[in-house]
Amino acid sequence: MTDKSGRLPFVSIIEIERFAIHDGPGIRTVVFFQGCPLHCPWCSNPESQKRGTRLMHLEKRCVTCKQCINSCPNGLISFRDDKLVFKREACTACKTCARACPREAIRFSGEKAEIPYIMEIIKRDKEYYANSGGGVTFSGGEAFMQHRALTELLTRCKEEGIHTAVETSGQTRLENITEAYPLIDLLLYDIKHANKDVLHKVTGASLDTILANLDYAAGRDPNKIIIRIPVIPGFNFYTEEIASVFELARQRQIKEVHLLPFHTLGKDKYGQLGLSYTFPHNKMLTKEDLFPLQQMGESMGLHIPLNPFRSP
Amino acid sequence: MPKFNVEGIQNVEVSKKFPCEKPPARQLEIMEQYTAMHQSCLDKPKELREIACLGVLYPTLFRNIAPGDLIAGRIDFLPIGFGSVTSEGGVGHYCVFKKLRTFQQQLDDAHKKRVDALYDYWLDHDLKTQFGKDVLTDDTTGMFIDCEFPMIATARLSGMMLDYPKLLSKGIDGLREEIGERSGKDTGNDFYKAALGCLDLFVACASYLQVNAREQMPHSSSKRQQELERIDKGLEKIKAGKPETFHEAMQLIWLYALLSGVINYGRLDDYLGPFLAGDLQAGRLTDEEAYRYVYSLWTMIENRRTTVNGRIVVGGKGRKHPQEADVFLHYAMKVAKNARYTEPQFTLRFDRDTSEEIWDAAFDALGAGATYPTLYNDEVNIPAVAYGMRIDEKAAEQYVPFGCTEFVIQGQSTGTPNICINLLKLLTIYMNRGIDPADGKYKADGVNIKPLGEYQTFEDFYSGYKALLDHYLDLSVRAQYYSYELMNKYVGFLFTSLLTDDCIARGKTLLNGGVRYLGGTNETYGNINTSDSLWSIRDLVFNRRKYTLKQLHEAMLANFSGYEIIRKDCLACDKYGNDLDTADDMANDLYEYVAKGVRERGIAIGMQYFLIVISNNQLNTEWGNHTAASPDGRLSGMYMNPANNPQGGANKSGPTALLNSLRKFNARYHAGSVQNIKFSPAMFNENRPVIKSLFKTYFNRGGCHLMVTVVDKGTLEDAVQHPEKYPDLIVRVSGFSAVFVDLSPNIQEELLSRVLYD
């Protein structure tokens, strides 16, 4: 798939993680796309929300030696109130400051990668996928935000005989789903809430769109779908809310649901990006917290593994 | 003569030896007797001198049978004596001068003088000192382990693995008969005479231990009495006849190994398995007793404290009794899992047919943190050994790793690594026109080196480095070969010769033309730092033209102080271990150049093989501490990369990428290359199917070897702070396992730097 000038699209990505074992079965390579139509306040990868190369300042490492200030060719870094201040909106991501920093306290996140480059990395672990029942997972961000590139990557993976999984919020146009669907072996489909008003208010997502897309996929093969629910205190960490999502799965003959316990491991990244973390909850959930929900789901006839994709 | 220190530390001794059982006065007497015997035999043939001297040491130096031992045999070593390797006494007729001085300090003045006399005598007769006088120089070649030199050399006979099947099938009398037949036709043969003396000595030692066992009986519990009776009877049996039980077979091998000074044991599953299975089947041993026997063997090996040796190899192709061998294998797996010893270095050879049951047993032991078994892939290693050593695949099936990983053919070859070369030090010397930036001394030995400004292309620069390498490879093969000539001049290694093909048949001791395959190994260090450095130079100087060679060199000489950005650029260059063709191809190119260069030189000088090993003990750290800053961004004095693994922390792309890099070296050019990988317990134990497929895929794709540490990073960090809490926390250093808290801080730091997959 090429654009009008015959070029392949670039893909905005955060990173390519090899030997990933949590986002699908077996040994996998996960390509994290950048850009997401939602804005979940608990998001643990805030650098994946908007496309572009972004400066991340790791204050914990910074010794305020000010070498970055002197290095910036555009004078966009200053020192005020004992703190470094970055004019991020004007940053060209030339990365000179990162090179100058002796403590590796400045990083840049987000890059544009060419499809052959991504494929080259994916292909290097082909035999590991084959022997472990693994493959590739396209995640994000929201992979369907770059549906042309996604479809191209999926096509190439299938040509290589590689198992494909896509992790999606389902927030995309149906035609994107239908186009990619035949190329996908496993859909990891996030459903965060069954109440469309709450969902929309908190995350900006449209439940109608998400369910229409899910209907399409489930109508073809519900066994290709695993529903994933991020379990978030104050949002959906209530028996009835989770039960409603379970019900959505059951109605569509989807058998497996994963509960992803809320964590705050991505919290520091907000500060690093110059953003503020506004989500009020701080206490991470544990597996034990999920036991009652798991039991409920199992009693509804669903399979709810608490260590998904891992051996017991 | 170069000014080398005869009291220098000769080998890595992480595990502390037991003090000698005999009082100092007695020890001094023995050393004096030994010295007198040696002196009186100076004019005799080496074989007769050797057996006469051995007769002074044994059985006198046997310790009392220890309370838990199920077979008999522990020996002490004195600063003067006879041996094969530095970790058990010394080499040939030896004096370890440093230990002799330490010993001297506990004596009163009158006795001190007696020690001085011994010291002076051995200055002229200690084999390693003689080697040092002949081979060591002031600038190129240092003694083991003097880290100021780019190359170190020694004389020793490491890694012998004896033909135990022959011993077990013939027994002592069978060997006697064979020698008798041969010597009948060759009556003047000193080797045969001395060999028969060895067997007599063996019998005398067995009798000595029988007396000891009987002496202990009256003071022992009834259970212990039974064990001692079994020891007594077993010793009686093996003095003459062939062993019939597991106990007798173990006792025979053990006592023989002790007397020969051999500290690696080889394929015990195949040799002992039939005896073990037979005893179990006949009801002579219960399951629990069998376990205790194997455990006892493990304890006695651990107690020899040879640090980097003690290899027991199980599994793999070419076993004569695979079914019975697997019985031993499974007991060994359980013991390795439970015993938590650093030795024996328990080694699993496997192939495509190795059962899931064996794999699971291996994963159980590794997952428990045993660091054992280390894993060797027969599918790769057998054809590689066949090519590398120039033998057929059938013979290659009997390859066994010893020490840190070096291969020999059990009962048929020598493979002692008597040379180590620091490739990275040579690169820093080369870039500094022959002067080692670490100490300002000239070490290029006359090799012509151009100023850095004159290199127009990378190839030009690289071939200049290769010229210096070539010179050192020449020195290395000569020193290795000379170590054999010198050892052969003075010693026969009688016990070892007796059980090595084809010494008896040829009537010649090991190094006198007796051994079937005269092989040797050359340990190369800093391999990956060097190739990463070469890649940095290629990338920054010649491809991108970001810096000139001179600028880079200036930064290195300043240890990058004031040149931090250059260092960051160096560090940011592609690094080996990330499955990147750039850095990996550079590593492979250097590897092949060095490995082939060493191999060809070995063949040319008349050896069966001389191959590099990319193993390491802790020398990567100690040598790194004396090596200047390098273009890969490594600072002066910093540890170097372990074996052929990446520099700690340089592999950032996950385990599949690491393993893809590791598999790239063609195994046929080396005689062992150590690959480390480290997991947290949660990752390793909760994802067994995934980790198993990770390993198997790596092995299918040409991976030759893997050693696995399963440990939490937090645990290691805590152990640095609170060593008292972790007396049995075992880690894989590379070529050996060690109790983490016994390691020095610089080694601990290197271990902590390595990437852990969590």
* B618-646 per-position pLDDT tens digit: 899 999 999 999 999 999 999 999 999 99
Residue-level length of chain A: 312
Residue that is written with structure tokens 């909850």 in the block:
A281
pLDDT higher than threshold 90 for residue B504: yes
pLDDT tens string, chain A, 312 residues long: the values are: 555 666 778 999 999 999 999 999 999 999 999 999 999 999 999 999 999 999 999 998 999 999 999 999 999 999 999 899 999 999 999 999 999 998 889 999 999 999 999 999 999 999 999 999 999 999 999 999 999 999 999 999 999 999 999 999 999 999 999 999 999 999 999 999 999 999 999 999 999 999 999 999 999 999 999 999 999 999 999 999 999 999 999 999 999 999 999 999 899 999 999 999 999 998 999 999 999 999 999 999 999 999 898 754
What is chain B's mean pLDDT, rounded?
Answer: 95
**Is B693 an 8 Å CB contact of chain A?**
yes
Per-residue pLDDT of B680-735, as tens digits, reads: 999 999 999 999 999 999 999 999 999 999 998 889 989 999 888 888 788 888 77
Domain boundaries, chain A: 10-50+111-299, 54-109
State the smallest CA–CA distance between residue A122 and chain B in angstroms.
11
Asked whether the beta carbons of residue B656 and residue A21 sit closer than 8 angstroms, the reply is no
Asked whether the beta carbons of residue B700 and residue A19 sit closer than 8 angstroms, the reply is no
Q: What single-letter DSSP state applies at residue B362?
A: H
Asked whether the beta carbons of residue B654 and residue A17 sit closer than 8 angstroms, the reply is yes
Q: Best of B359, B658, B693 to disrupt the A interface by mutation (most A CBs within 10 Å)? A: B693
Asked whether the beta carbons of residue B565 and residue A99 sit closer than 8 angstroms, the reply is yes
Asked whether the beta carbons of residue A131 and residue B693 sit closer than 8 angstroms, the reply is yes
Q: Give the pLDDT band (50/70/90) at residue B739.
A: confident
Task: Name beta bridge partners: B737.
Answer: B732
Residue B12 confidence (pLDDT):
65
Q: Tell me the average pLDDT across B535-563.
A: 98
Chain A residues touching residue B689 (CB < 8 angstroms): 132, 311
Instruction: Please give the span between the terminal C-alpha atoms of chain A, in angstroms, as a whole number.
Output: 42
Per-residue pLDDT of B204-233, as tens digits, reads: 999 999 999 999 999 999 999 999 999 999
Chain A residues touching residue B688 (CB < 8 angstroms): 311
Chain A residues touching residue B564 (CB < 8 angstroms): 102
Per-residue pLDDT of B351-384, as tens digits, reads: 999 999 999 999 999 999 999 999 999 999 999 9
Output Rg (C-alpha) for chain A, integer angstroms: 21
* CB nearest B688 (choices: A124, A131, A311): A311
Q: Tell me the average pLDDT across B587-591.
A: 98
Residue A195 confidence (pLDDT):
97
Residue A171 confidence (pLDDT):
98
Residue B8 confidence (pLDDT):
80
Chain B residues touching residue A21 (CB < 8 angstroms): 687, 690
**Is A15 an 8 Å CB contact of chain B?**
no
Per-residue pLDDT of B22-47, as tens digits, reads: 999 999 999 999 999 999 999 999 99
- Report d(CA B332, CA B349) in Å as an integer: 13
Asked whether the beta carbons of residue B757 and residue A307 sit closer than 8 angstroms, the reply is no
The third-level CATH classification (topology) of the domain covering A10-50+111-299 is TIM Barrel (3.20.20)
Nearest partner of A285 among A46, A47, A48, A42, judged by Cα: A42
Q: Tell me the average pLDDT across B74-83.
A: 97
Chain B residues touching residue A307 (CB < 8 angstroms): 686
3-state SS, residue B613:
strand
Q: Tell me the average pLDDT across B280-303.
A: 97
pLDDT higher than threshold 90 for residue B6: no
ipTM summary value: 0.94
Residue-level length of chain B: 758
Per-residue pLDDT of B302-335, as tens digits, reads: 999 888 889 999 999 999 999 999 999 999 999 9
Per-residue pLDDT of B147-183, as tens digits, reads: 999 999 999 999 999 999 999 999 999 999 999 999 9
Question: DSSP string spanning B160-185?
Answer: ----HHHHHHHHHHHHHHHHHHHHHH
CA count, 13 A, side-chain hemisphere, B365:
30
Percent above pLDDT 70 for chain B: 99
Nearest CA in chain A to B693: A132
Q: Tell me the average pLDDT across B390-405.
A: 96
Residue A312 confidence (pLDDT):
46
Residue B713 confidence (pLDDT):
83
Nearest partner of A55 among A299, A275, A280, judged by Cα: A275
For residue B405, the Cα-to-chain-centroid distance in whole angstroms is 6
**Is B565 an 8 Å CB contact of chain A?**
yes
State the smallest CA–CA distance between residue B549 and chain A in angstroms.
20
The third-level CATH classification (topology) of the domain covering A54-109 is Alpha-Beta Plaits (3.30.70)
- Report d(CA A189, CA A194) in Å as an integer: 13
Per-residue pLDDT of B425-439, as tens digits, reads: 999 999 999 999 999
- Report d(CA B327, CA B276) in Å as an integer: 8
pLDDT higher than threshold 60 for residue B2: no
Residue B176 confidence (pLDDT):
97
Percent above pLDDT 90 for chain B: 88
Contacts of B390 (CB under 8 A, 6+ apart): B603, B608, B609
State the smallest CA–CA distance between residue A290 and chain B in angstroms.
19
Q: Best of B635, B658, B690 to disrupt the A interface by mutation (most A CBs within 10 Å)? A: B690
